[in-house]
Amino acid sequence: MAQVEIRRFTEDDADAVLSVILPIQRQEFGIDITADAQPDLRVIPDFYQSGKGQFWVAVRDGAIVGTLGLKDIGNNQAALRKMFVAAEVRGGEHGVAALLLDRLFSHASDAGLTDIFLGTTDKFVAAHRFYEKNGFTEVAKSALPRAFPLMAMDTKFYRHKLG
């Protein structure tokens, strides 16, 4: 099995990130969304890689196979966004999602973050199980911080308390 490297996003990764995320959203989950409807993906350094935020890619055999963004929302809190893993490397045997999340938790701890929030859709049932297994608890939309970046398709919300 090929090794997977988790590294920070660079500008050269922009097209490859879209090529991972869009097919998962559109073909796998039937979400009618375009790159233009996700302007954060066009300005990853400004949107994610500022403050205590960051954006990582998982690379296997020279190709990006996973993504994960952490958006600083102030008050030592952040939003987990854009966690996607290509179908061919999903599951425990590859561990790509776990590697990405481990990197996020390590960064969040080093940055002094206290809470990580996320929003997802009801359709991502496997993701719900993954988040819950990794210490996220479901919260009501009303419990989200005011600065949390809501997406129209998000219907389920989680929080992970650090420390």
10-56 pLDDT, tens digit each: 999 999 999 999 999 999 988 889 999 999 999 999 999 999 999 99
Closest among 37, 96, 39, 101 to 69, alpha carbons compared: 101
What is residue 29's predicted lDDT score, i.e. its pLDDT? 85
CATH topology of domain 4-161: Aminopeptidase (3.40.630)
Positions in the chain short of pLDDT 50:
none
What is residue 24's predicted lDDT score, i.e. its pLDDT? 93
pTM score: 0.95
What is residue 1's predicted lDDT score, i.e. its pLDDT? 56
The rounded distance, in Å, linking the Cα atoms of 147 and 72 is 9
Q: In one letter, which amino acid is 160?
A: H
Q: How far apart are the first and last CA of the chain?
A: 34
